């Protein structure tokens, strides 16, 4: 069970670190974002500490900050009710 939790969080970290890059804008159609290192570390720590375990993995993909991921996660959860 602990291994599943580690994988669960690692996958969220992987997606969270897939922030929209300026150089990929022409390929993705998504505007690139510049995220402060402190915000990235904050998000990483929140994921690893389990503070955002309740949100779907997809909520973390191509987001700039953890707040954006949380907002997307809350929206996804509301849509599934």
Mean pLDDT of 46-58: 97
Per-residue confidence (pLDDT) for residue 2, from 0 to 100 = 86
Residue 5 pLDDT exceeds 90:
yes
pTM of the model: 0.87
Per-residue confidence (pLDDT) for residue 29, from 0 to 100 = 87
Q: Which domains does the chain have, with CATH numbers?
A: 2-79 (1.10.1140.10)
What DSSP line would sit under 19-70, residue for residue?
PPPGGGHHHH-SPP----HHHHHHHHHHHHTTTTTTS-GGGGTT-SSHHHHH
Which band of pLDDT confidence, cut at 50, 70 and 90, is reported for residue 68? very high
Per-residue confidence (pLDDT) for residue 16, from 0 to 100 = 96
């Amino acid at each position: 069970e602990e291994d599943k939790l580690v994988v669960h969080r690692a996958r969220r970290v992987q997606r969270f670190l897939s922030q929209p890059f300026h150089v990929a804008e022409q390929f993705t159609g998504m505007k690139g974002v510049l995220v402060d290192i402190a915000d990235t570390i904050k998000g990483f720590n929140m994921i690893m500490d389990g503070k955002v375990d309740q949100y779907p993995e997809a909520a973390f993909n191509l987001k700039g900050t953890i707040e954006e991921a949380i907002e997307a996660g809350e929206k996804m959860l509301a849509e599934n009710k």
